[in-house]
């Protein structure tokens, strides 16, 4: 059973999501909250598998709520998916930096929402190659923030290479083809890089690549 918490200031939006999720076998909505502060309290009380959190809310934003959830060791197994009306923008990037596992547009098709919940529940990042490329187009030209990024020295040459390729939007299969290795080996390198950098998931690994300057130019 996948346990989900809903955090959104729009009652109609919460009701719509709840009706969809409650109708699905294998998914249970464990609670709702109308602002970020109550959302954090809900997540701490219920420890769901997934928290669907609106990016902009009163009292506390979804970004700050995500940051607090990600910083709580007791909630290490909770995966945050940010809900937004705006597509890929500064809010989304900040949410990923704060610890979100991905994001969904609020007008996502029901089938896509259900699939996304299953993907995140498996521990994967809800950050498709297409979305990653869009993020790169928006943010990769910015000066890297090396003051907040962990150092590259902990990664092997191979791990740096796969991290850079992941940040450019390549899937494991595409990384394997590029490096002439097996997809399993590519996945292993990425997993090791995530462990060394303390990244919660692939989304955090991509953010690290931006922050550290490992990826520094569009299309590079």
Is the CB of residue 100 less than 8 Å from the CB of residue 131? Answer: no
Same domain for 84 and 185? no
User: Is the pTM higher than 0.75?
Assistant: no
Summarised one tens digit per residue, pLDDT across range 31-47 is 999 999 999 999 999 99
Among 74-78, 90-94, 106-110, 140-144, the range of highest mean pLDDT: 74-78
Confirm whether 56 is domain-assigned.
yes
Query: What's 76's domain CATH number?
Result: 3.40.50.2300
Summarised one tens digit per residue, pLDDT across range 105-116 is 888 888 888 888
Burial (0-12, 13-18, 19+ Cβ within 10 Å), 4: buried
Summarised one tens digit per residue, pLDDT across range 137-163 is 565 455 555 555 556 788 899 999 998
Query: What's 157's domain CATH number?
Result: 1.10.10.10
Same domain for 85 and 37? yes
- Strand pairing partners for 203? none
Averaged pLDDT for residues 67-87: 87
Residue where a domain terminates, one of 126, 153, 181: 126
How many independent structural domains does the chain possess? 2
Confirm whether 149 is domain-assigned.
yes
Summarised one tens digit per residue, pLDDT across range 166-194 is 877 787 888 999 999 998 999 899 989 98
Confirm whether 132 is domain-assigned.
no
């Amino acid at each position: 059973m996948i346990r989900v918490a809903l955090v959104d200031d729009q009652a109609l939006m919460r009701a719509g999501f709840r009706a969809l999720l409650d109708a699905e076998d294998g998914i249970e909505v464990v609670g709702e909250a109308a602002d970020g502060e109550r959302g954090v309290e809900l997540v701490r009380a219920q420890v769901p598998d997934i928290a669907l959190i609106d990016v902009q809310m009163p009292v506390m934003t979804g970004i700050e709520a995500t940051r607090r959830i990600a910083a709580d060791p007791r909630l290490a197994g909770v995966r945050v998916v940010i809900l937004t009306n705006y597509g890929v923008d500064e809010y989304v990037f900040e949410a990923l930096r704060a610890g979100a596992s991905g994001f969904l547009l609020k007008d996502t098709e029901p089938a896509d929402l259900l699939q996304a919940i299953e993907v995140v529940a498996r521990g994967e990042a809800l950050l498709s190659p297409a979305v990653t490329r869009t993020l790169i187009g928006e943010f990769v030209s910015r000066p890297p923030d090396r003051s907040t990024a962990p150092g590259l020295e902990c990664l092997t040459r191979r791990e740096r290479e796969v991290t850079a390729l992941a940040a450019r939007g390549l899937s494991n299969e595409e990384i394997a083809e590029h490096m002439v290795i097996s997809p399993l080996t590519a996945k292993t390198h990425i997993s090791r890089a995530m462990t060394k950098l303390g990244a919660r998931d692939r989304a955090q690994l991509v953010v690290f690549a931006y922050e550290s300057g490992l990826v520094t130019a569009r299309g590079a």
